[in-house]
Amino acid sequence: MFGDTLYWKCRRSMRFNKELHRIAKDFRESQLNANDEKDKTLLPNDWIKEISRRNAIGGPYVAVHLRRADFVRSRSKEIPSIKNAVKQIKSKLEELELNLVFVATDAPKNEIDEIRSLLEPKYSLVIYNPESWVKDKFRDGGVAIIEQIVCSYARYFIGTYESTYSFRIQEEREIIGFPAESTFNRLCYDGSENCSKPSIWKIVY
């Protein structure tokens, strides 16, 4: 049954490709000042040895999955404008006393530029731009996984409403051991600063 002990055993056993993990780790360390030991995000090599915990801190950055493209059309009532999304991001950065935000998005370049301009100079936007060999070897799917991993290790995560991509990040964060309140969050649509949170599916051991 979805969400039960057997489900989570299966889910925990399915780990991402080691090379993708290494690429994501190198990026986190060089661009986001992350360190697994300091951030308490180390996992055992064998998933069977994982234990129940809620003490992961995460790297000193907020991660956001900002779905645009088809969601802007099909779920326009649940997706914020760029300006409103940035407002929510800035509010959380200020609350957590952080200045770095990593954004995984399918937004076009002009929208990414708008996000950056609205954040600066107080806050810095970090985007993953893969090297050509990474794109050639792993294609778009692999690049998306690298971004998911980076989001999974953040101090705080904000997802997109009803996005499977965001849901997978939330699962990873449950496995790593983050407090639920730092994981199950979403960008609210325009005009609703306190929209309902996404469904909370906590890990079961």
Domain membership flag for residue 125: yes
pLDDT of residue 50: 95
Pairing of strands 154-158, 124-126: unpaired
Give 186's DSSP letter. Answer: B
Residue 68 in tokens: 């645009």
Domain membership flag for residue 123: yes
CATH at residue 78: 3.40.50.11350
Range of the domain at 101: 5-42+53-182
Domain membership flag for residue 194: no
Domain membership flag for residue 172: yes
Please, where are the H alpha helices in the chain?
5-13, 18-31, 36-39, 69-74, 82-96, 109-119, 132-152, 164-176
Which tens digit of pLDDT belongs to each residue from 100-139? 999 999 999 999 999 999 999 999 999 999 999 999 999 9
The domain tally of the chain equals: 1
Domain membership flag for residue 124: yes
Residue 38 in tokens: 């300091």
**CA 113/CA 116 separation, integer angstroms:** 5
**Residue 73, φ and ψ in degrees, nearest 5:** -90, -50
Domain membership flag for residue 11: yes
Domain membership flag for residue 187: no
Residue type, 43: L
Domain membership flag for residue 198: no
The pTM of the full predicted model, rounded to 2 decimals, is 0.95
Residue with tokens 């997706």: 79
**CA 56/CA 176 separation, integer angstroms:** 7
pLDDT under 50: residue ranges of the chain: none
**CA 7/CA 21 separation, integer angstroms:** 23
pLDDT of residue 17: 95
pLDDT of residue 120: 95
**Residue 193, φ and ψ in degrees, nearest 5:** -80, -20
